[in-house]
Amino acid sequence: MTDPEMVSSTATIRTLIAAIPDGLTDDMLTTHPPAAALGFARPTNHFWAQPGRLLWQRRHLINLDSRRGQPATCAGGPIDRLDLTLMRDAATYHAGLRWQRWQHATAGTKTARPWHEYAAEHRAQPGKITLATARTRFLHQPRINAMRLYNAAQMAIVFSLDDIEMYQAGQQAYQHYQALTALCADALLPVTGPVLRPASDALADRITYLAEAARTVAGLPGSQRLIALAV
């Protein structure tokens, strides 16, 4: 669950993908990262690198991490040296498995309301609905409790409470959501123009963002460099 203290009406952004301007060299990325003014100054290994590349072909991949038996990951590089298709396929596959586990774990529970709805009620009537009350109402839903119990039993966060709307949209919808998020993350900064980002954490707003961001990425040339930045 997103930190309950964060009750802003704007979307939660953890990872931003920025298109790197031509004038910004690889060496300059650590000192002048795109979107630094927005608070995104730490590269994060969000992308998969193309497999089977020679060493000289990987020199423009940022923070390349290549381990035996695992996909090579990186924080970015030229699009034609990133394996965006395999990233999406893997995200789709794993999302399908996760959704099936979620369906079994929450079987018999009623549809839950997402946190952003309770946060909105708190913002609308802060004197009547305190933040603690909103949080309690959200966490006391049977389906949310089922997800939390599963996570506790697995000793890991397997089901994100922030994704309750996505899970409830159905298996294919959840898979599409995760595949597009693997490609576009939470926000996208083109070389020119404003940052593309969801208007809020509501699924409908995230879908609007993902559709626009995916079209933007699809229209970029293979030579365009991308970098993933974390807060």
Instruction: List the chain domain ranges.
Output: 12-82+185-231, 83-180
Mind listing the pLDDT tens digit for each residue in 20-47?
A: 888 766 655 655 666 665 666 788 999 9
- pLDDT tens digit string along 64-119? 888 777 889 999 999 999 999 999 999 999 999 999 999 999 999 999 999 999 99
DSSP state of 102: H
More confident residue, 50 or 214: 214
Instruction: Identify the residue with better confidence: 26 or 230.
Output: 230
Model pLDDT, residue 66: 82
Give me the chain's average pLDDT, please: 89
What span, in angstroms and rounded, lies between the C-alpha atoms of 121 and 216?
34
Q: Report pLDDT for 19.
A: 92
State the average pLDDT over residues 9-16.
87
Written as six digits, the tokens of 30 are: 């650590």
Residue among 204, 164, 195, 200 at smallest CA distance from 11? 200
Q: What is the 3-state secondary structure (H, E, C) of 10-67?
A: CCCCCEEEEECCCCCCCHHHHCCCCCHHHCCCEECCCEEECCCCCHHHHCCCECCECC
Which of 14 and 29 is assigned the larger pLDDT? 14
Whether the CB-CB separation of 161 and 144 falls below 8 Å is answered with yes
Residue-wise pLDDT for 138-193, tens only, equals 999 999 999 999 999 998 889 999 999 999 999 999 999 999 999 999 999 998 88
- Residue 51 near residue 23, CB atoms below 8 Å: no
**β-pair partners for 189:** 18
Give the containing element (helix H, strand E) for 18.
strand 15-19
pLDDT score at 205: 97
> Is the torsion defined by CA of 132, 123, 174, 111 positive or negative?
positive
Contact between residue 79 and residue 218 where contact means Cβ atoms under 8 Å apart: no
Does residue 112 contact residue 168 with C-beta atoms inside 8 Å?
Answer: yes
Predicted pLDDT of residue 4: 41
pLDDT single digits (tens) 180-216: 999 999 999 998 889 999 999 999 999 999 999 999 9
% the chain with pLDDT above 90: 71
pLDDT score for 163: 96
What is the per-residue pLDDT for 140?
97
Phi, psi of 211 (to 5 degrees): -65, -45
**pLDDT value for 60:** 81
